[in-house]
Amino acid sequence: MKSFLKPMAVMLLLMSSLHAYAVEKITIIVSGIDKQIYLPAKLAEQLGYLKETGLDIELLSEPAGSTAEKEMLLGAAHGVVGFYDHTIHLQARGKMVQSVVQFSQAPGEAILVSKAAAGSIKSPADFRNKTLGVTGLGSSTNYLTKYLAAKAGVRSGEFKTLPVGAGETFIAAMTQGKIDAGMTTEPTISRLISSGAASIVVDLRTVGSTEAALGGTYPAACLYMPTAWINTHPDEVQKIVTAFVKALRFIRTHSAEEITGKMPEAYYPSGKQAYIDALEASKLMFTADGVMPENGPPTVLKVMTGFDKAVQGKSINLANTFTNRFVNAARQ
C-alpha cells in the first residue's frame, strides 16, 4: 500500500501545481485600443481570432503606455500591447519582459504643429522655448520627441514636454493652445490635419520616413509580457501570438477599406473614409508575420540611451528583450 500511496501523493502534488498555474482570464492592456498603431489587437478580437484560442482573453485600454506598463507590473494584466522600448526600459530596472509578437516596424506617429504655431515651427530645430505634447512623461512619444530635438541641436532643457494623453485630450490641448506641437497617432493625426488645426512636422508613419528620421527601422507596437509568465505559460502565449499573427496576415492581404469595415464605427469619429485614408497611408508599418526586424532593437536602444536615465550606463542584453519562437511556430 505504501508503494502505491507515494506515487499518488506525487501525482496529486503535480496536479495541484498545474492548477496553480491555470489561468481563468488573461488580461491584456492596450495602450490606447482605438489607435491605429495597435490595430492588430482589436482586429484579432473583431475577427474572432482571440475567441478561437479557447482562452478567456480580455482587452482593456489605457491611454498611455507608461500607465499600462505600471498596471502590468502591479499584476493587473498578463501583458501589454504597447511599444517595444518598454522591454529595454524595464530590463534596465531589473525587470525582465519580452516582446512575443512584433506588430510594427515604425512608430506610426507624427509630430504635429498647431495652426497658431505653424509659422514658427518648421522642424525640430525650432522646438526651443516651445511646449510639446506627449502622451506621458515616461512614454515612447516623450523619448522620440527628445531624440528628434537633440538630433536637430535642441537640448531637452530648452523646451517643455507636457503630458496630454491621446485622442480627444490631445486635440483639446492643441486647439486650446496648451501645446505648440506634439506627437500623436492615427486617427488623431488625420482628424487634426483634415480640420486645418494642425500640420505635420515629422512623419514616422512609414518605414522609409522612420529610417530617414531615426537612422533605422524602429520596432514599435508589440505585445510584451513578463518573461517568467511566458516561461510558465508557453501554451497560452502561443495561442495568443498565433491569433495576432493571423490578424497581421489579414492586414497585409486586405485593403484598408476591408480592414476598416471590420472595426467598430466608434473608432473613426471623423468618418469612415478618413480612417481608411489614414490606414492606407501607413498600413505597411505593420509587420507581415510578427517577426522582430533584425536591425530594429539597436535603433531603439540608441534613442533610449540618449534620454532614459534608467538605461544610461546600463548593459542591455537586447536578445532578452524579445523572442521570435512563438511567431515562428505560428508561421508554420
Cα(309)–Cα(16) distance, rounded to whole angstroms? 43
**Sheet arrangement for strand 97-102:** 57-61, 26-30, 79-83, 221-226, 97-102
pLDDT(316) > 90: yes
Residue keyed to cell 501570438:
241
CA–CA gap between residue 256 and residue 251 (Å, rounded) = 8
Distance CA 91, CA 321 (A): 8
| pLDDT the model gives residue 139 | 80
Q: Kindly list the structural domains of the chain, giving each domain's residue range(s) and its CATH number in brackets, ordered by start.
A: 2-106+219-331 (3.40.190.10), 109-204 (3.40.190.10)
Q: Which amino acid is at 159?
A: F
pLDDT band at 332 (very low <50, low <70, confident <90, very high): confident
pLDDT digit string, tens, across residues 290-300 = 999 989 999 99
Burial class (CB within 10 angstroms; exposed 0-12, middle 13-18, buried 19+) of 7: exposed
End-to-end CA distance of the chain: 48
Distant-in-sequence, close-in-space partners of 310: CB < 8 Å, separation ≥ 6: 89, 92, 93
How would DSSP label each residue in 70-104? HHHHTTS-SEEEEETHHHHHHHHTT--EEEEEE-B
Does residue 301 have a pLDDT over 50? yes
User: What is the per-residue pLDDT for 69?
Assistant: 85
**Cβ pair 120, 126 in contact under 8 A:** yes
> What pLDDT, in 10s, does the model give residues 193-246?
989 999 999 999 989 999 999 988 999 999 999 999 999 999 999 999 999 999
